[in-house]
Every structure is written in structure tokens, then in C-alpha cells.
Amino acid sequence: MLHYEIEGKGTEDLVLLHGFMENLSIWDDMIPFLSDQFRLIKIDLPGFGKSKVVAEVQTSEIMADEVKKVTDELGLKQFHLLGHSMGGYIALAFAEQYPELLKSFTLFFSTYFADEDAKKETRRKGLRIIRENLRAFVNAGVPNLFNPNEHDVLEPKIKLAKETAYTSSVEGVLAAQKGMIERPDRKSVLENFEGKILVLAGKHDSAVNSEKTIKNLPDRTNIKSYMLDCGHNGHWEKPAICASIINTELLHRLPKKILI
């Protein structure tokens, strides 16, 4: 069973899935801004935080099944699911396999597209570096995930992101990296899902093609998207704004003011 923590006593369950080389602590900056109507279920995905690796290649489907074991244990029947980056890939796999359980799912700086060939090759080359020197892999990659125009202001958050990534196990990082290479295109999930779909994207995201992701969203009334002036890590770069959008869209509450 994956490690998880629950925060809040709201009537709406929101399951939070972190991204690659992260753990459930990444939500700490956003939680004070999320509505008290939520009960937050924060999960450490396989191979990260306090959760063990479950497979040599941890595909989105495998990790979605591990998430379902948690939601089954908690007896969740109708809940909201939100995933950052890799967590978004898992959310899509979950929505594909278990749509009846979800009120909504949110792609949080993530995409429904499969990796392009060049990105897959970059990931394959990264496997060797991960094996040889995970710390170097983290140091080279993490800063690029933040808005390059605000690196001076964001330096404490970049440091936090690195320190979070350092706690990842080599085995877990390799398994997740291999799984992301195998990720299929899941636009069909967005075309068929009947609940609410929310997409938050960053103008300066170097990991996800935000413009392509939003431009190619299906033209359906249940899909809402936002483009924010940040990089890949809205939870650290714009926590109050991200939380306000989530409160507004998932709970249908009017925001006090959203500055994007």
C-alpha cells in the first residue's frame, strides 16, 4: 500500500498526485489556500517519499492501480483527482480505467500527449546519468523547470525542489523514467470523460508543451483551461493563484480575484 496523508475535514475529497522526483510534501505551499470544503488525500507515488517501488518499469497504468488501492481502502466513490506532471499522466490512466469514480480530474502542468521521439530519446539518455549520479541529474534538470525570468526570486523554491528530488531513490527514479517513455497518447480520455476536466499550464514550462496542450483540447463544455505566467511548478511558483482556480472550478465558487 502506498503511503498517504490526509489533511482537512471537508466534504469534497481531492486526491493529490505529485510529479517526477517529488513526494507528497510538494503541496505544502498550496494547502493553506485550498478551500476547507476539501478533504485532501496526499499520496506518495511508488518509489517516492515513503512508498516502495512496485515494478522495474512503473507505467502510468501500474501506478494508477496503486492509487486505486488507496482510494479503495478509504472507501472513496466520487472524488476529485489532481496530478502534477507525471502525476497528471497517472490521473489520465486512472480516468481511463475508472471514470465512474471521478467527479473531476485536473492536469496540473501536465499533458495528455505521449512523448515525442526526441523526448523519449532524452529520457533514455537520462537513465545512465540517473544510475551514475542522481544528484547531478537533479542539479542539471530541476532549475530548468522554473520560470527563467524569475530565478532570482524563486531561488528558495528551486533549492527546495532540489532537496525534495535528492530524497528520491535511484531505483524509483529509473522505474518512473522508464514508465514515462512508454506513456501513450490519451487525448481520447478527454474526449470521453463526462466529469469536469481542468487544465493548468505554464507559459514558461520547459517540460510540457503548454501551448500545444491547450490548443488541442477537445471543444467540450466540461473542459476548462488556464495559462499562468510561470514554469512547470505552479505549486511552488504560484500556489495562491493555483489554489484559487482549483477552488473556483471544482467547487463552483466565485474567486475573490484571480491574477494570472
Sign of the C-alpha dihedral computed for residues 200, 137, 146 and 38 taken in this order: positive
Task: Assess whether pLDDT exceeds 50 at residue 115.
Answer: yes
Contact by Cβ (8 Å): 146, 233: yes
Residue 256 has pLDDT above 70, yes or no: no
Q: Is the pLDDT at 49 greater than 60, yes or no?
A: yes
Residue 195 has pLDDT above 70, yes or no: yes
Longest CA span, the chain: 50
Whether 68 and 60 have beta carbons less than 8 Å apart is answered as no
Assess whether pLDDT exceeds 50 at residue 230.
yes
Torsion angle, CA of 136/142/144/147, rounded to 10 degrees?
Answer: -160
* Band of residue 257 on the pLDDT scale cut at 50, 70, 90: very low
143 pLDDT above the threshold of 70:
yes
pLDDT band for 100, please (50, 70, 90 cuts): very high
| The pLDDT of residue 252 | 80
- E strands along the chain, which residues? 4-7, 12-17, 38-43, 79-84, 102-108, 196-202, 223-228
What spatial distance separates the first Cα and last Cα of the chain, rounded to whole Å?
Answer: 38
